């Protein structure tokens, strides 16, 4: 089976404004998607306090970084999916979609960090050109909790400057009848003071130019340039969980504990200690089988 999320993309689908991105429907073959959906980790087994959180993101499974579940609980299909999309070959394939962000380095292609933002190499203290095998990929199986009130997960922002790319693969449940919770693409308004890699952009300084609906088997992939402004629209009240997989690549310098944040700002150390305590106490864990 082919678990690669970029198997159904070609150059004609790439959009460069307001930042490089692509939207791919039916990213995976239907049978592969169905197998992964059927073995998606069940968040209903998470502690009750999590279920009362309003539309909050939690990371369930990953091979590195802070998560709620140990990677060992992943099903065989999820293991293969993660391995396929965490390879150097995947990183190279992802960047081949955006050749303007590549340069020659020693007779081979390399990623030109200055294209992401002229100050990026100095900002993250690395070389201006980075090879594909220097990018550290990460696949994270995640959920958003049910929505108890109309709320957005996050407004317009850019991601960590050390991220090379971000992909969002959606696993919408058939019973999910809620509205909103869609990815929004923003750009700076004319004349607005721009903030490179804005953690939280001033709403008055940006405008939403595209809304990408949360649909099953839809992938959104983008490069995390200094102006890659995106957010999530408010989601209506619903008891249904939202499922999504985050596929990211990190430039040199990231370590095991330098991960994307989730509710509660769990550190890698806290997650590991919590997992160890649960195993010691014999607490029931969520399984992916």
Encode pLDDT of 78-92 as tens digits: 999 999 999 999 999
Is the pLDDT score of 266 beyond 60? no
Task: Give SS3 for 123.
Answer: helix
Which residues on adjacent β-strands are paired with residue 25?
Answer: 218
Q: Which helix (H) or strand (E) holds 76?
A: helix 76-84
Cis peptide before 18 (omega within 30 of 0): yes
How far out from the chain centre does Cα 38 lie?
21
Q: Please tell me the pTM assigned to this model.
A: 0.86
Per-residue pLDDT, 271: 36
Q: Which residue has the higher pLDDT, 254 or 105?
A: 105
Which pLDDT band, with edges at 50, 70 and 90, does 262 fall under?
Answer: very low
Q: Is the pLDDT at 259 greater than 60, yes or no?
A: no
**pLDDT average, residue stretch 181-209:** 95
**Is 37's pLDDT higher than 70?**
yes
Binned at pLDDT 50, 70 and 90, residue 254 comes out as low
pLDDT of residue 46: 73
Residue range 238-244: mean pLDDT, rounded: 94
Is the pLDDT at 64 greater than 60? The verdict is yes
CATH 2.60.120 fits 11-44+54-252, yes or no: yes
Q: Are 233 and 185 in contact (CB under 8 A)?
A: no
Q: Could you tell me the CA-to-CA distances from 101 to 112, 144, 231 in Å, in that order?
A: 6, 32, 23
Confidence at 257, pLDDT banded by 50, 70, 90: very low
Stretch 234-262: mean pLDDT? 79
**Residue located via tokens 């294209």:** 115
Mean residue pLDDT across the chain: 87
Sheet architecture: strand order including 57-62: 21-25, 218-223, 163-170, 242-250, 136-144, 57-62
Edge-to-edge strand order for the sheet containing 102-105?
A: 102-105, 108-112, 129-130
CA 58 from centre of chain: 12
Mean pLDDT computed over 188-199:
93
What are the sequence ranges of the domains in the chain? 11-44+54-252
The CA-atom distances, in angstroms, between 277 and each of 62, 100, 147, 258, 285 are 19, 48, 29, 22, 12
């Amino acid at each position: 089976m082919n678990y690669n999320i970029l198997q159904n993309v070609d150059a004609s689908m790439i959009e460069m404004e307001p930042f490089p991105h692509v939207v791919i429907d039916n990213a995976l073959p239907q049978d592969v998607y169905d197998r992964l959906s059927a073995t998606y980790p069940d968040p209903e087994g998470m502690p009750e306090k999590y279920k009362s959180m309003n539309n909050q993101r939690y990371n369930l499974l990953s091979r590195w970084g802070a998560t709620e579940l140990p990677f060992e609980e992943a099903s065989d299909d999820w293991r293969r999916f993660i391995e396929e999309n965490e390879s150097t070959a995947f990183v190279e394939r992802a960047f081949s979609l955006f050749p303007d962000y590549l340069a020659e380095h020693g007779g081979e292609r390399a990623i030109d960090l200055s294209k992401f933002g002229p100050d990026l190499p100095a900002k993250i203290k690395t070389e201006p050109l980075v090879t594909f095998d220097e990018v550290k990929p990460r696949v994270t199986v995640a959920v958003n909790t049910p929505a108890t009130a109309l709320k957005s997960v996050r407004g317009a922002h850019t991601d960590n400057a050390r991220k090379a790319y971000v992909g969002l693969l959606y696993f919408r449940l058939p019973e999910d009848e809620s509205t909103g919770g869609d990815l929004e693409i923003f750009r700076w308004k004319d004349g607005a003071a721009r903030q490179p890699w804005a953690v939280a952009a001033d709403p008055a300084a940006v405008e939403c130019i595209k809304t990408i609906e949360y649909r099953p088997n839809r992938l959104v992939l983008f490069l995390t340039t200094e102006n890659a402004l995106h957010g999530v629209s408010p989601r209506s009240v619903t008891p249904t969980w939202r499922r999504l997989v985050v596929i990211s690549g990190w430039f040199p310098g990231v370590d095991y504990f330098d991960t994307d944040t989730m509710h509660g700002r769990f550190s890698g150390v806290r997650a590991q200690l919590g997992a160890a305590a649960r195993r010691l106490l014999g607490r029931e864990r969520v399984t992916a089988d």
